[in-house]
A and B are shown apart, each in its own frame.
Chain A
Amino acid sequence: MTRKLNLRIWRGDSTDGGLQDVVVEANEGEVVLDVIHRVQATQMGDLAVRWNCKAGKCGSCSMEINGKPRLACMTQVASYSEDETITVTPLRAFPVIKDLVTDVSFNYRKAMEIPAYEHPKELAPGEARMEQVDVERSQEFRKCIECFLCQDTCHVIRDHEENKKSFAGPRFFIRIAELDMHPLDMLKNRKRTAQEEHGLGMCNITKCCTEVCPEHIKITDNAIIPMKERVVDIKYDPARMFAGLLKREKRN
């Protein structure tokens, strides 16, 4: 069951580029990454594309397919109609290096800004005891394969380069949430720094990130919204404000 497929590929680099049309064979059961590889092996030896596992586990082959952020290895050719042209373009939120490869170093810089896990000092290796139900909340976020599709689709940075400085993006909100919900993490105020230093407040919960997540992590519902709610609680909690007043009085 081989058929001819019309593929439109963005080719170029940071200076210039455009869409190029190719016709390529597609076999039954193939995914978009397969046909890109066929183009590479037979027609465009220097076509740049990132990939690794080809099984949806490493998050390398992120690109935009017909305008939607997707993993090329998990996108079946058969999910498009036979006469449809499939257009593949690089992730729009990040600078192009060449063809389908973009500079995603923004994400690694942000990763370095999130304070690391802090293990309780009194707990020696092997002594930790945690309930399964308690680790599962963080485990959902640790499923993240760092494909950065959520970052790509997030409108806070997708077309607003100027926001990148003060906004970590959905991938790192789930990282903060994961640490915040970690049963043993000792570092305080993760939610507050999410708001004050990593731009949590700029997210207006349109759930675009949840929609594109190939791991089906409920980024908005399970990480961002609970953190936003708690930040509000902390900032406007009457009990806390009252306690704060008392403290101040005592000090005075």
Chain B
Amino acid sequence: MTNMERHNYDVLIIGAGGAGLRAAVEAREAGLRVAIICKSLFGKAHTVMAEGGAAASMANVNDKDSWMVHFRDTMRGGKFLNHYRMAELHAKESPDRIWELETWGALFDRTKEGKISQRNFGGHEYPRLAHVGDRTGLELIRTMQQRIVALQQKDGRETGDMESHIKVFAELTITDILKENGKVSGAYGYWRESGTEVLFEAPAVVIATGGVGKTFKITSNSWEGTGDGHALALKAGANLVDMEFLQFHPTGMVWPPSVRGILVTESVRGEGGVLTNNIGERFMFKYIPDVFKDKYADNEAEADRWYLDQDNNRRPPELLPRDEVARAINSEVKAGRGTEHGGVFLDVSKRIPADVIKKRLPSMWHQFYELAGVDITKEAMEVGPTCHYVMGGVEVEPDNAAAVGVPGLFAAGEVAGGMHGSNRLGGNSLSDLLVFGRRAGMGAVEYVKNNGANPVSDASIKAATARIEAPFSREGGENSYSLHAELQEVTHNLVGIIRTGKEVEEAIEKIADIRKRSANVSVAGGRKFNPGFHLAFDLDNMLLVAESTAKSALRREESRGGHTRDDFPGMDSKWRQVNHIASFDGKQVNVKAQPLPPMPKELFELFDIHELEKYMTPEEIAKGGSN
């Protein structure tokens, strides 16, 4: 505990991606003092990787779009397991959140009338994604980052200190959320650069740490996606909901090996890219599920016509929700119709002229040209599924993003659960960050106003510091790199895109074994910028995430969205009525079923009853909503 730094704020925000920064803006604008923690440098968060766009029913391109249509698409994409209230708030508030970015300097691509342009994406009925070429995430993170700086400059003019009300703590890892008397009191962590320990006292903590991709072997996520917030919340007494649902993005790079998993944006398909197998067959027509038959073209001629006339033709099946496309690719490869490197072909070169490809998909062109030696204006890409997004996350109150069961704790963005149900639509993530980032900020403000400071006790500090020191006190123990690789093998092989009960049981045992051994991880070298030391904590988080996922997956005996059971291949209306809730008792993760809140009548009635019949039980249909 020597040289421990101590800071005091109203709100502590863990994570500096879109959700964290939006929460920070909200809390500062309400007059509070805010600390923002990022695990890497400011502006490098994974939000930067989002390519396609942010979904919002601004109706700039097709005036039939509205929040109701967006809400329906979101529920449909999530196979009706979404928390209806989150999907409703998201659909209603997304346009305002996008327009607000423009007032902070964002420069989206334009329509001919000069409005924000919107593009087509899988599962969205109308062109809905506000975008900047294929680097929308970068625009979003930079705009938010520059908004933070603008607020700091304003504070500088008023107080003489630009960091008087918002301070960014870059390259700092949080290892514990602290509580006193059952309420949040702050958080503890260390500077990655020096290893120096840091205590933050704050009555409200917003978790906005993003995803868990690094738990898996093939992923589009960066090193930061280690489920830190999921694990911190679990350990602080919060619940994780829907952890069995992982989104395997259908199109990740498959070759060369070093880039395996890196994302190939869905915009490639939105702009007209087609998927073919090794015999040249456009195979997606074979994989249109019954629930989507009336919305997707069953022949090439109609699918091609859709790009020119969307009112009178059904959409090409390449634009089915991500889970459907990922499973289809998986099946083609398993049936021996894959490419040399175990993927399928995605070709945009035959449909769009080279100069247009370079303009609309510049970073894809660049990525394939530089990393794979493939010129996508002339040849097809090889693609396959990659672990991309976790639908599951901290169980929150939809309106204020408060974590259920832990006063003072809030969660927003990918780390929060419920919004996307069993499968997230592309483009709904960036808008989710903004809508619920803002709501988490509002929730924290309200909470701080009603609850004063909650000082951290010496006992809490002592326990937190002991955890950080532990790996250095052991010698000749396990290596965190090899344990991480072992965990990734287990999740990839046994809890991956296609699961069976037996394999998941095996995974649970193996994860428990790795967890036991991880208690004996030792670290070489000192505290100063030591990646082996950093990974020791990440590993602990990933193990809790993997355990939650495996245990939730074992219970759900059906296939839905981002959870496919080979031994229960069908979707079952009974299972739609429950969420799985994971909690941590200090030793292990426990999972229980919890009834899904029923949709109120006014939302229920937005759907065609015949569509609801595909998802709901006759009793639910008869009730016609909850009020």
Interface residues of A (CB under 8 A from B): 13, 27-31, 34, 40-42, 45-60, 74, 76, 97-99, 101, 104, 108, 111-112, 115-117, 119, 123, 125-126, 128-132, 135, 138-139, 142-143, 145-146, 179, 182, 185
The one of A31, A46, A55, A117 in contact with B531, judged by C-beta atoms closer than 8 angstroms, is A46
Please indicate the chain A residues that have their CB under 8 angstroms from the CB of B114 in the complex: 128-131
A30 to B65, CA, bound (A): 45
Given contacts A29-B255, A125-B99, A56 and B162 within 8 Å (CB-CB): no
Q: Given the complex, which residues of A lie within 8 Å of B485, measured CB to CB?
A: 41
Are A112 and B48 in touch, CB under 8 angstroms?
no
Q: How far is the CA of A30 from the CA of B371 in the complex (A)?
A: 9
Q: Which residue of B lies closest to A103 (CB)?
A: B193
Partner of A111, one of B104, B149, B193, B372: B149
B523, A53: Cβ atoms closer than 8 Å: no
Name 7 interchain pairs, CB-CB below 8 A, sorted by A: A46-B533, A52-B223, A54-B259, A55-B259, A117-B150, A138-B107, A142-B138
A112 touches B259 (CB 8 A): no
- Residue contact A135 to B109, C-beta cutoff 8 Å: yes
Assembled-state Cα–Cα distance A45/B135 (Å): 34
Q: Mark B348-382, 1 if CB is under 8 A from A, else 0.
A: 00000000000000010011001110000000000
B4 to chain A minimum Cβ distance, whole angstroms, is 20
B530 an interface residue at 8 Å Cβ cutoff? Answer: yes
Shortest 8 CB-CB contacts between residues of A and residues of B = A29-B256, A46-B525, A117-B105, A129-B114, A116-B150, A125-B99, A45-B532, A48-B529
A45 near B523 with CB under 8 A, answer yes
List of A residues within 8 angstroms of B620 by Cβ: none
Q: Does B431 contact A (CB under 8 A)?
A: no
Of the residues B103, B168, B193, contact of A125 by C-beta under 8 Å:
B103
A52 in contact with B110 (CB, 8 Å): no
Would you call A46 and B524 a contact (CB within 8 A)? yes
Interface residues of B in 102-116 (CB under 8 A from A): 102-105, 107-110, 113-115
> Quick one: which of A29, A126, A135 contacts B95, CB cutoff 8 A?
A126
Choice from A27, A40, A58, A182 contacting B49 with Cβ under 8 Å? A58
Task: Please tell me if the beta carbons of A126 and B58 are within 8 angstroms of each other in the complex.
Answer: yes
Q: Within residues 373 to 428 of chain B, which ones have a CB less than 8 A from any CB in chain A?
A: none
B43 touches A146 (CB 8 A): yes
User: Please, how many angstroms separate the alpha-carbon atoms of A40 and B526 in the complex?
Assistant: 15
B224 at interface, CB cutoff 8 A: yes
A132 vs B150: C-alpha distance when bound (angstroms): 26
Which residues does chain A contribute within 8 Å of B100, judged by CB atoms?
125
Contact in complex: B153, A117 (CB < 8 Å): no
Tell me how far the C-beta of A169 lies from the nearest C-beta in chain B, rounded to whole angstroms. Answer: 16
Once A29-B255, A119-B105, A125-B103 are accepted as A-B contacts, the answer to whether A52 and B44 lie under 8 Å apart by CB is: yes
Closest to B484 in A: A41
B57 in the interface (beta carbon within 8 A): no
Q: B40 near A: Cβ within 8 Å?
A: yes
The answer to whether B524 touches A34 (Cβ under 8 A) is no
- Bound-state CA distance A111–B372 (Å) is 34
* Residues in A whose Cβ lies below 8 Å from that of B46: 52-53
Does B102 contact A128, Cβ atoms closer than 8 Å?
yes
Inter-chain contact A50/B41, CB cutoff 8 Å: yes
Asked if B257 is at the interface (CB within 8 A of a chain A CB), the reply is yes
The reply to whether B40 and A60 form a contact with Cβ atoms under 8 Å apart is yes
- Choose one: B109, B138, B481; the contact of A143 (CB below 8 Å): B138
Q: Are A142 and B142 in contact (CB under 8 A)?
A: yes
Q: Which of A53, A101, A138 contacts B48 (CB 8 A)?
A: A53
Say whether B467 faces chain A, with CB atoms less than 8 Å apart.
Answer: no
In the complex formed, the residue of B with least CB distance to A42 is B481
**A119 in contact with B104 (CB, 8 Å):** yes
When the two chains form their complex, are residues B258 and A30 in contact, meaning their CB atoms are under 8 A apart? Answer: yes
Q: Is the beta-carbon distance between B146 and A117 smaller than 8 angstroms?
A: yes
Given contacts A54-B222, A116-B146, A142-B139, whether A46 and B530 have CB atoms under 8 Å apart is yes
> Do the beta carbons of B363 and A29 come within 8 Å of each other?
no
CB of B532 to closest CB in A, whole Å: 4
Q: Is the CB of B262 within 8 A of A54?
A: yes
Apart from A41-B482, A52-B48: 8 A-B pairs, beta carbons within 8 A:
A30-B257, A30-B258, A41-B485, A56-B371, A74-B371, A116-B153, A138-B107, A139-B133
Decide: A182 near B479, CB < 8 A? Known: A60-B44, A97-B193, A125-B96. no
Q: A139-B107, A185-B105 are in contact. Are A98 and B528 (CB under 8 A)?
A: yes
**Any A CB within 8 A of the CB of B548:** no
Chain B residue contacts of A41, Cβ below 8 A: 481-482, 485
Interfacial chain B residues near A30, Cβ < 8 Å: 256-258
A76 to B262, CA, bound (A): 16
In contact, B103 and A119 (Cβ under 8 angstroms):
yes
- Most B CB contacts (10 A, CB to CB) among A28, A55, A131, A185 go to A55
> Inside 8 A of B110's CB, which chain A residues have their CB?
130-132, 135
Q: Which residue of B lies closest to A13 (CB)?
A: B528
Measured CB to CB, the nearest residue on chain B to A145 is: B138
Task: Find out whether the CB atom of A56 lies under 8 angstroms from the CB atom of B222.
Answer: no
B14: chain A residues at CB < 8 Å are: none
A112 with B139: CB separation less than 8 A:
no
Known: A60-B40, A129-B114, A139-B132. A116 touches B223 (CB 8 A): no
Interchain nearest-CB distance for A108 vs B (Å): 6
Q: Which residue of B lies closest to A215 (CB)?
A: B366
Given the complex of chains A and B, what is the CA–CA distance between A57 and B193 in angstroms? 23
- Contacts of A99 on B, CB cut-off 8 Å? 529
- Closest A residue to B255 using CB positions: A29
Closest CB-CB distance, A60 to chain B, in whole Å? 5
A104-B481 CB under 8 A given contacts A55-B49, A139-B132: no
Residues of B within 8 A of A119 (CB): 102-105
- Indicate which residue in B41, B153, B529 contacts A104 across the interface (CB closer than 8 Å): B41
Q: Is the CB of B49 within 8 A of A57?
A: yes
Report A-chain residues with C-beta under 8 Å of the C-beta of B149: 111-112, 116
Nearest-neighbour CB distance to chain B for A141, whole angstroms, equals 10
Closest to A71 in B: B370
Question: CB distance A60 to B41 under 8 Å?
Answer: yes
Contact with A along B106-150 (1 / 0, CB 8 A): 011110011101000000000000001101001100100011011
B277 at the interface (CB under 8 A from A): no
Which residues of B (498-553) have their CB < 8 Å from a CB of A? Answer: 523-526, 528-533
CA distance A111 to B162 in the complex (A): 12
Chain B residues 71 to 119 lying within 8 A of chain A, measured CB to CB, are 95-96, 99-100, 102-105, 107-110, 113-115, 117
Q: In whole Å, how far is B328's beta carbon from the nearest beta carbon of chain A? A: 25
Which residues on the B side are within 8 Å of A135 (C-beta)?
107-110
Q: How far is the CA of A76 from the CA of B370 in the complex (A)?
A: 8
Does B303 lie at the interface of the complex (its beta carbon under 8 Å from any beta carbon of A)?
A: no
Answer yes or no: B276 CB below 8 A from chain A CBs. no
A48 B223 Cβ-Cβ under 8 A: no
Which chain A residues border B363 with CB–CB below 8 Å?
56-57
Q: Give the CA-CA distance A50 to B363 in the complex, in Å.
A: 22
Query: Does B152 sit at the interface, judged by CB under 8 A?
Result: yes
Does B43 contact A115, Cβ atoms closer than 8 Å?
A: no
Cα–Cα distance between A45 and B536 once the two chains are bound (Å): 11
Chain B positions 256-300 with a Cβ under 8 Å from a chain A Cβ: 256-259, 262-263
Assess whether A58 is in contact with B95, with CB atoms less than 8 Å apart. no
Q: Are A132 and B255 closer than 8 Å at their CB atoms?
A: no
Contact B531 A47 (CB under 8 A): yes
A76 CA to B99 CA in the complex, in Å? 40
Q: How far is the CB of B50 from chain A (nearest CB, A)?
A: 10
Judged by a CB distance under 8 angstroms, whether B306 is at the interface is: no
Is B604's beta carbon under 8 Å from chain A?
A: no
B562 vs chain A, min Cβ distance (A)? 22
Q: Does B42 contact A (CB under 8 A)?
A: yes
Docked-complex contact B259 and A29, CB < 8 angstroms: yes
Would B262 and A55 count as touching, CB distance under 8 A? yes
Least CB distance, A115 to chain B, in whole angstroms: 7
Query: Which residue of the partner chain B has the closest CB to A175?
Result: B146
- Residues in A with CB closer than 8 Å to B224 are 52
A112 touches B109 (CB 8 A): no
